[in-house]
Structure 1
Amino acid sequence: MSNSGNEILDMYLYETNTLLEQLDSIVLAAEHVDSFSEDDVNEIFRIMHTIKGSSAMMEFTPLMTIAHRIEDLFFIIRDKGMNIVAEEHRPLLFDLMFQAIDYFRSEVAKIENSEPFSENIDTFIENINSFIAKIQQEPSSGAPAAASAPAADASSAASADAAIAGFGTDPAHPHLLHVLFDEGCGMENLRAFMLVTSVRDFCADEVFTFVPEDVETNPETAEFIVENGFLLRFINAADRDKAIPAVTASGSVKTYQIADEAVPAPKVEKTEQAAPAAAKKPAGQETAAPAAAPKAAPAAAATPAPHSKESLISVNLSKLDHLMAVVGEIVITESMVTSSPDLKGLKLDTFTKSARQLRKLTDELQDVAMSLRMVPVSGTFQKMNRIVRDMSKKLNKPARLTLVGEDTEVDKTIVDNISDPIMHIVRNSMDHGLEENTQDRIDAGKDPVGEITLAARHTGSEVIIEIRDDGQGANYDAVLEKARRVGLAQPDVEYSQREILNFLMMPGFSTNIEVTEFSGRGVGMDVVKKNVEDVGGTVVLSSEPGRGMTTTLKIPLTMAIMDGMEIAVGHSIFTISINNIRQIFRVSSANIIQDAGQKEMIKCMDSFYPLIRLRDLYQLKEGLDNVEEGIVLWVESGECSYCLFVDELIGEQQVVVKPLPEYVNSYNIKTYGISGCTILGDGNISIILDVANLYSAAQGL
């Protein structure tokens, strides 16, 4: 596929996914009040019309067909009012819409993965048709079923004949099909050419012609088709009848007119009178698009909300990645210039002033570049409404979702990576967290309706995301017993509650299906932990029996640039995130003790913490041995807290995080506490340390 084809497909996927998210929110809100408002109906009609038109242009026939039929359904509701759907039928309508959303999402995912469509949509179409028939039997109805592409009725025949006259005559092809496309569908010339291609499946090229003839190569014919329609001419009526199924199957056809040229009419150039006649809505027409419907071409609709088109623009994430890379190089270059050893000892007032201004501008450029990548977590949070809704019905557990701080912004890449972990935690809260039946909650003095809370807030350069439920909480004894049974816990060792909860996030614990018998979490939490750690975050579990459980995710705002502390061991330079440093101090030998395993411990704030010597951990040839000569950093990450002994502090610096080369990653170097590297102002490379993995590496020695 050409680059332009890829761009059109990307726009189609972006637009369709955006519309489906919007549709999901509309249906969820409507189900809550058990009715669609007039605005909801109009918006759903517009969304289906857009998906129908863009899918037809991309030749995604199954998606176009489903969208067209749902559009027909909501045309009836829009025309007759929501009262046409009896209250006992509304749950079925909501379920039907959720099924449609799931269908579109699954098919879009197949497009993204280059997989074939699910061609068998007959059952789904039958369900929609059955519902249409059901509501049309309501007393308040009286609206006939909408057809896929109905022929114009007698009242509009005169108008269609007037439009046909504008095309002139062809005695060799006197049998006509005059086709009108949906208003605002866009790219009418290409739609006409697609229709011709479909007709060729039923008729040979020599038995029909079409007007305009150059629809494939001349975009200007789109305007002519909008004003006059599109004409297909056939040698005989039988061939014309064969072509009608192709017309009715087209997702962008509003109506068509059958005509025969008994008497040749004088050839007339394109006239102004023909335009309104062709565009006029035929009387009784039920699938016509609204006159104000926006154009549905994917290339023209970047965002679903009309009011935001003027102020918003969608940008490919790879371009933002490239921008951040360039900004990072600028930051490094600026640091190299201003820190050049050639400038030492020179008094350059003008240069120093200019350097300060350059630093200010590069800082502002960094902030702007980072802000472009920041998106609110609301999109991810809103998706959880559907999870709670579906599981509530499936498990027969009444529940509601409460969102707090959904406007909190995080780097786009990080949002994408934490979406699945949050979804899994919410599912676990529904499945294992909330009580099995309502009576248990009532007996415990709780609201019969369970509550799951999703909360997000900023803390400096981190975002804290909490997933809380008010269920039964963790059964610590049962979890510990299970951990011992699978060999994760020692038989005679006592564990704190926090250590017991940490077993839930270990791979061995989640492999046994019996885990789901406990009120605590289990299945798949190891994957949640890994995904969060992959973006530099941590997972913390807490629970109070009978009151519920809380899963806390600590996520960095961005992984591209960070505030780091440069430290040195011998001639080796390392960087630690400022957010992981709790305290920096010097220590005397008297403060060092050894535990039962002969490992060093140090006293801080009336508690003892492990002491890790960076020189010993990485087996460096140079570095200090005497703790009184060096310096100690008290660091922590999640539940991991310890002290790190180094030679000296170099100073605080904002650094650009660079990934490690692939050949280095192949050695699984991250397990040794190394997450990346950065280039310093003097050109040296500094290794960025991962505080959590560094501790795990030290414990394994």
Structure 2
Amino acid sequence: MDNMLDMYLFETNSLLEQLDELLIEAEKAGDLTVDDVNEIFRVMHTIKGSSAMMEFSSLMQIAHHIEDLFFYIRQNGLDSLNITHKGTLFNLMFRSTDMLRAEVSKVENNEPLSDNVDNLTQEINSFLKIISEEETPKNTEATIAKSSEPKKSEQPKKVSAPATQTADLDKIRMELAECPDDNASFFLRLFFDEGCGMENLRAFMLISALKESGLEFNHYPADIETNSKTCATIIEKGFYLTFESSKDAESAISQVSNLNNIQSYELIENVRVKNATADEIKTPTAPVHENAVTSTPAASTGHQTPNKQNLISVNLAKLDNLVAIVGEIVITESMVTSSPDIQNLKNMDSFLKATRQLRKLTDDLQDIVMSLRMVPVSGVFQKMNRIVRDMKQKLQKDVRLTIVGENTEVDKSIVDSIGDPIMHIVRNSMDHGIEDSVQERIAAGKNPQGEITLSATHTTNEVIIAIKDDGHGVDPAGVLAKAKKNGILTKPENEYTQKEILALLLAPGFSTNEVVTEYSGRGVGMDVVKKNVEAVGGTVTVTSELGKGMCTTLKIPLTMAIVDGMEIAVGKSVFTIPIANIRQSFKVKSEDVIYDTEGNEIIKCMNQFYPIIRIHTLYNIDSKITNIEDGILVWVESGDKSYCLFVDDLLGEQQVVVKPLPVYLNSFNIKNSGICGCTILGDGNISIILDVLNLYAAAHNQY
């Protein structure tokens, strides 16, 4: 069941994402196409079937009613909907997909599903009633769709004949205005509940369910999918299914007996076929069918083309294990090639050649394994279309979302982590950034329609995601005033630079909204963005020009599993600093160092002054190198923090596999001490990986 549930959740979430994208694009175009209608019908039919199989009643009911609605639209064409209908349909579909997604989320979190979804299903039925009445006012009774699901206290009435009826084909021909299958041995006649409505639709749903179970049969009337007039025939004379064997007929009855809205059914045996079969047993002159039956699979087997499948779904936990194993292989390979026992051997040429080839293969293996975890950011980006669409309607703002670089790939775990931060920023741009009225934009010489641009680009080892709007930008004076009012300023107002003022937007408890709305004003949002992005090793920066707009940039590592690092020595300890955080390393003289009012060391670089942090002092490490001239300064930067680390020596650059710290160390507040993980070196020793951003905070608190 776990495997089935995983597959169900994967399939349903994928279908709902496809549906959201389809609806957003269709709404932008102002209309649905025939292909759109067929696709929505197919998606809902799939969700209905799989939800029924998993016994998720609420999901099944919602999907079933939407399927009914789109069956009617398929049957009557898009011309049956006017502009008002289409607008209502889009809103109804977005609410329905939201409800379906909420129910799926409950399944994922092992929460009980909703017991009652009648409000939504009745809304769907009411809409179907409106469009069907306007389309065929003379035949209202045959087209009005009432709720197809009985209340729990009501059980649908099932009535079948006590024994198989027998009837001649001519009698059935007289009941139907068409010629049924002469070779059918059994007829199953059904009547739907009186007044249930849309009988032809219900008949179509019935035959779809039976065909999915593998049964072969014909049905009469035959044109139920395209002819709404068949409703009257089904109401008056019933709906017929024909079978060639009693086994198929019994199988159909077992399914029909469990369906809702079936008032009665009876099984009728064809007298002519029964008598003809008896005669054939006495004098077998009829053609033998066995050859035809056996030749069909043989022919199909000979010419069957295998299905090509280029994509497979893999559990993320399995990929995590694979990455871990490859990391161990890389470490072991490094330990073998740098073993001191090998260094004393002579005639090392062949060995060195083999180790170079081994290094190449392990690097290739590592790259391939990491690429398996890489997924495009398009999934996260496309979800923002829905955020913009909903806020456009509620805020009455005309805004378009432009997406650039949606095929940029990032590690799966990081993609999952950046969804919420991007959503917060997009909401912030919609609520705070874009002007409230078209007149305000026109007065500022801008396009009446606002624009939010969501872009992603690659650099060597990180992805840069930018969320930019062309709104009114940020007023520095207003930000300072609000920050002062909220008590989050740490120094006098006149000492804040433009960069520092914009950084206040990311501070906890900061909000420029005076009134709490559905989307903002609670002081929660941008600080969550900063926290979540930094949790995956990224940084957030904000730039803005008053009157022109605002841009929030996220710099995120492509993966957290492997880091290009610089090994540094402090005493007998070895640390690793991510190369991405290093700007420069250099030696200085004692006279180059100056001191602030509190006696802390400062060094001047590129006409700017930066504090010096001594690692041996911070971590109480015994080191013989304490003179500033004997060691090396490493200029590092992360987020809005830039400073210099004093270390004994640089040991060299190396690609390292990041290992998480043991759980029991969490009680020692290790992460707030400037340590984000560790790695195993080629000689088997452990190197601590430094978190440049938190290390500055740790040193600042200590000093």
Classify the secondary structure of the residue corresponding to 1:384: helix
> Could you tell me the TM-score, scaled by structure 2's length?
0.80
Q: What is the 5 A alignment of 1:210-609?
A: 230-232=251-253, 246-248=258-260, 258-259=266-267, 310-347=309-346, 348-490=348-490, 492-494=492-494, 495-509=496-510, 522-609=523-610
**Contact 2:503 2:542 (C-alpha < 8 Å) held by counterparts:** yes
Distance in 1, matches of 2:207 and 2:85, equals: 33
Q: 2:68 matched to 1:42?
A: no
What is the Cα deviation at residue 527 of structure 1?
Answer: 1.2
Counterpart AA for 2:130? K
**Contact 2:37 2:74 (C-alpha < 8 Å) held by counterparts:** yes
Summarize deviations over 1:273-319 as a string: whole Å, max 9, x none.
9xxxxxxxxxxxxxxxxxxxxxxxxxxxxxxxxx9971110000000
Classify the secondary structure of the residue corresponding to 1:700: helix
What is the Cα deviation at residue 263 of structure 1?
Answer: 8.1
Distance in 2, matches of 1:537 and 1:145, equals: 56
Distance in 2, matches of 1:594 and 1:163, equals: 102
- In 2 relative to 1, CA 357–229 (structure 1 residues): closer, same or farther, beyond 3 Å? farther
**Contact 1:474 1:520 (C-alpha < 8 Å) held by counterparts:** no
- In 2 relative to 1, CA 26–515 (structure 1 residues): closer, same or farther, beyond 3 Å? closer
- In 2 relative to 1, CA 511–349 (structure 1 residues): closer, same or farther, beyond 3 Å? same
**Contact 1:400 1:452 (C-alpha < 8 Å) held by counterparts:** yes
Distance in 2, matches of 1:121 and 1:265, equals: 48
> Could you tell me the TM-score, scaled by structure 1's length?
0.80
**Contact 1:178 1:230 (C-alpha < 8 Å) held by counterparts:** no
Counterpart AA for 2:54? M
Distance in 2, matches of 1:308 and 1:542, equals: 51
What is the Cα deviation at residue 123 of structure 1?
Answer: 1.6
Classify the secondary structure of the residue corresponding to 2:687: strand
Count of equivalent residues: 608
Counterpart AA for 2:90? F
Counterpart AA for 2:84? E
What is the Cα deviation at residue 117 of structure 1?
Answer: 1.3
Larger radius of gyration: 2
What is the Cα deviation at residue 493 of structure 1?
Answer: 4.1
What is the Cα deviation at residue 399 of structure 1?
Answer: 0.6
- In 2 relative to 1, CA 669–445 (structure 1 residues): closer, same or farther, beyond 3 Å? same
- In 2 relative to 1, CA 185–115 (structure 1 residues): closer, same or farther, beyond 3 Å? farther
Segments of 5+ residues of structure 1 without an aligned counterpart are 167-176, 190-222, 234-242, 274-306
Classify the secondary structure of the residue corresponding to 2:668: coil
Classify the secondary structure of the residue corresponding to 1:543: strand
Classify the secondary structure of the residue corresponding to 1:7: helix
Single out whichever of 331-340 and 66-75 deviates more from structure 2: 66-75
**Contact 1:573 1:687 (C-alpha < 8 Å) held by counterparts:** yes
Match of 1:22? 18
- In 2 relative to 1, CA 309–596 (structure 1 residues): closer, same or farther, beyond 3 Å? farther
Distance in 2, matches of 1:471 and 1:516, equals: 19
What is the Cα deviation at residue 145 of structure 1?
Answer: 5.1
Match of 1:8? 4
Distance in 2, matches of 1:140 and 1:28, equals: 30
Q: 2:208 matched to 1:182?
A: yes
**Contact 2:431 2:520 (C-alpha < 8 Å) held by counterparts:** no
Distance in 1, matches of 2:177 and 2:61, equals: 28
**Contact 2:185 2:273 (C-alpha < 8 Å) held by counterparts:** no
**Contact 2:185 2:245 (C-alpha < 8 Å) held by counterparts:** no
What is the Cα deviation at residue 569 of structure 1?
Answer: 0.2
Counterpart AA for 2:321? H
What is the Cα deviation at residue 353 of structure 1?
Answer: 0.8
**Contact 1:178 1:231 (C-alpha < 8 Å) held by counterparts:** no
**Contact 1:586 1:630 (C-alpha < 8 Å) held by counterparts:** yes
- Which of residues 52, 55, 62 is equivalent to 2:51? 55
**Contact 1:516 1:523 (C-alpha < 8 Å) held by counterparts:** no
Summarize deviations over 1:619-653 as a string: whole Å, max 9, x none.
11224111111111111112211111100111111
Match of 1:213? none
- In 2 relative to 1, CA 98–159 (structure 1 residues): closer, same or farther, beyond 3 Å? farther
Classify the secondary structure of the residue corresponding to 1:259: strand
Distance in 2, matches of 1:376 and 1:509, equals: 32
Single out whichever of 682-691 and 511-520 deviates more from structure 2: 511-520
Counterpart AA for 1:414? I
Distance in 2, matches of 1:139 and 1:231, equals: 34
Distance in 1, matches of 2:368 and 2:82, equals: 53
Counterpart AA for 1:232? I
Counterpart AA for 1:312? L
Single out whichever of 150-159 and 439-448 deviates more from structure 2: 150-159
Distance in 2, matches of 1:476 and 1:405, equals: 31
Match of 2:651? 650
Root mean square deviation of aligned Cα: 3.6
- In 2 relative to 1, CA 226–659 (structure 1 residues): closer, same or farther, beyond 3 Å? farther
Percent identity over the alignment is: 58
Distance in 2, matches of 1:541 and 1:394, equals: 26
Counterpart AA for 1:132? L
Distance in 2, matches of 1:507 and 1:689, equals: 25
**Contact 2:513 2:520 (C-alpha < 8 Å) held by counterparts:** no
What is the Cα deviation at residue 246 of structure 1?
Answer: 3.9
Counterpart AA for 1:319? K
- Which of residues 105, 122, 125 is equivalent to 1:126? 122
- In 2 relative to 1, CA 157–272 (structure 1 residues): closer, same or farther, beyond 3 Å? farther
Distance in 2, matches of 1:224 and 1:365, equals: 58
- In 2 relative to 1, CA 624–82 (structure 1 residues): closer, same or farther, beyond 3 Å? same
Match of 2:83? 87
Distance in 1, matches of 2:248 and 2:288, equals: 8
Counterpart AA for 2:266? I
- In 2 relative to 1, CA 611–232 (structure 1 residues): closer, same or farther, beyond 3 Å? same
Counterpart AA for 2:456? A
Q: What is the 5 A alignment of 1:164-203?
A: 164=186, 181-182=207-208, 186=212
Summarize deviations over 1:475-516 as a string: whole Å, max 9, x none.
211221121222211573421121112222222435996688
Classify the secondary structure of the residue corresponding to 1:446: coil
Classify the secondary structure of the residue corresponding to 1:584: strand
- In 2 relative to 1, CA 188–600 (structure 1 residues): closer, same or farther, beyond 3 Å? farther
Q: Which has the higher contact order (CA 8 A, sep 6+)?
A: 1
- In 2 relative to 1, CA 188–224 (structure 1 residues): closer, same or farther, beyond 3 Å? farther
Distance in 2, matches of 1:513 and 1:272, equals: 86
What is the Cα deviation at residue 437 of structure 1?
Answer: 1.7
Match of 2:95? 99
Q: 2:73 matched to 1:77?
A: yes
Q: What is the 5 A alignment of 1:656-675?
A: 656-675=657-676
Distance in 2, matches of 1:453 and 1:612, equals: 39
**Contact 1:515 1:523 (C-alpha < 8 Å) held by counterparts:** no
Q: What is the 5 A alignment of 1:670-689?
A: 670-689=671-690
What is the Cα deviation at residue 99 of structure 1?
Answer: 0.9
- In 2 relative to 1, CA 249–7 (structure 1 residues): closer, same or farther, beyond 3 Å? farther
**Contact 1:157 1:257 (C-alpha < 8 Å) held by counterparts:** no
- In 2 relative to 1, CA 596–226 (structure 1 residues): closer, same or farther, beyond 3 Å? farther
Moved over 4 A (4+): 139-143, 145-161, 177-181, 183-189, 223-229, 260-269, 510-522
